[in-house]
Structure 1
Amino acid sequence: MTSVSSRLVRLLNMVPYFQANPRITRTEAAVDLGVSTKQLEEDLNQLWMCGLPGYGPGDLIDFQFSGDTVEVTFSAGIDRALKLTSPEATGLLVALRALADIPGVVDPQAARSAIAKIAAAAGTVGHDDTLAAVNNQDAPAESRAAGAVRAAVRDKRALTIDYYAASHDTVTTRTVDPIRVLLIGGNSYLEAWSREAEGVRLFRFDRIVEATELDEPAAPPALTLQAPPDTSLFDADPALPAATLRVAPSALWMLEYYPVRDVRELPDGSCEVAMTYASADWMTRLLLGFGSAVQVLAPESLGQRVQATAAAALTSYESYEAHEAHEA
């Protein structure tokens, strides 16, 4: 996450930089931008593929190269202030509001300030509402631990964290070298090298009780920085129960919205799937909502739970109907 965001910021600044420094050499530009000449070439090639809708000749950012020098010949408007359409502003506001509520991803106060400015520029709120959004005292504040972790990731500093392990109901102290922040299933995680475990671990932000930045740089092994995030454990956590379900054709849309796996299509058009769940109560409510379109094949205990809950609901409804009829 950090490397992608850093490159995006650099790419957005490169066109104005080259316009302000016409015919600068690649070597000089690489030094100024803090990258290698190889990375600079990759960035220029990336920018060549960016531009205005249409994305044909005359729409894309263009450069002129003379010897080792670089000069911008067409900026595609990237050097001008961005003007958002109403749908674009709405989409950006929704995304910012979602990020502001997830610990560790962004500074909530900065996000709320950006939200207020975008909303005001889009004409959806007045000036007083803008100030209120920025200064809202009731808005959730970032915890000290989340702020410390976010700063350590940004500054590439090592950390000690007190972490609550829900599976063991214990709090342990770890020394970690931050790698990046990840968003998985609506939760934010710190991906870091755990010195105690000598391996990469994911730490959920809302379970980091305390965090203290150390007076030393983060030093995760180089291979962990080059490797993509490993989120495979979220595909099928062996510590969580799993249900085998038969899903009728009318309910196959659930495969797009819920974490199902091992999908097997049956001759009648239905599917047999495996689905991991953390809460039996939540799973029961979900299955009741599908009615007869989703059948529990295993475990038997879940099927019995769904049947018992449905029977209890039906009894309550019949009692209510009888009471209403008697009152009438």
Structure 2
Amino acid sequence: MSRATGSRASADRLARLLNLVPYLLARPGIEIAEAAGDLGVTERQLREDLELLWVCGLPGYGPGDLIDMAFDGDRVTITYDAGIDRPLRLTQDEALALVVALRLLAETPGVDNRDAVEGALAKIEDAAGDLAGAPVAVRLPGDGDRVQRLRAAVQSGRALRITYYTAARDETTERTVDPLRVLMVGGRAYLEAWCRRAEGMRMFRADRIDECLELDEPAAVPPHVRPQDVSAGVFRPAPDLPLITLRVGRGARWITEYYPCEQVRPDGDQWLVSLRVTDLAWARRLVLGLGPGVTVVSPPELAEEVRAQAALALDAYSRPGAAAAAAPAAGQ
């Protein structure tokens, strides 16, 4: 099973789950095979969706709040829908939260279907009445002085000298860049610029730019450069990047919807997941952060690095003073 992007897979599954409850409510006792055919998914995927629905419902999430269903062999019936069949009625706080979110979305650069956003905002504001006029300041996430300076540099056409932290390599470098644009992707602000050090276009996360100095010289973006298509996310797996394969349990399977994966296939009650990474140091930190629910299948050098780092961490618990020595190594 291939995943084009984690965000697209999550959106597709959410849409499927929202459609699944009213579909089953209208067809009590339907066979799972028939439902899977109607919905265009495999029986395995439908069963996994039903397992997820079982823990969805109204806030509070007590036994009387969750969606419930009954199975009779290969047939399924929704026995409690947690109110999903009732028309939505917003409280004042909920309406205000939606107004603020839609105003924020309307201010986000690069948003498609802005007319639809403004139309929805107008309807919610009309329904909210006087509450919609409450004095609420709407600002983009991370839209502080740093982002304002980046936008000013783009508008003025000046080059920038930045101090940038690269999380994948855990290093801080100084670069001179020629800004092209500032954009929002996944709730984060990025500077897209020509990096003179790398001699290529790069996406710099605004919150990782520690210092930013506007230079007197004009930006000199090469004429052949075009803005990157970020509809599928900022990270673009390339064939020359390291390929890692992990065996993941149910608790860590979320990585298949968060990161672009080349392959995800069942392996008993676990899954074998293959994905490209920027480098093995980043992959090592990812695996260590996921804990015992993940095993490195390949490459062998990654498995050895994880094993060595885990042994160092365990040793820190057994010897007084070792924790201080292990801490810097864990962050490398």
TM range (shorter): 0.3 to 0.5
TM-score by length of structure 2 reads 0.42
Higher relative contact order (CA 8 A, sep 6+): 2
Larger radius of gyration, structure 1 or 2? Answer: 1
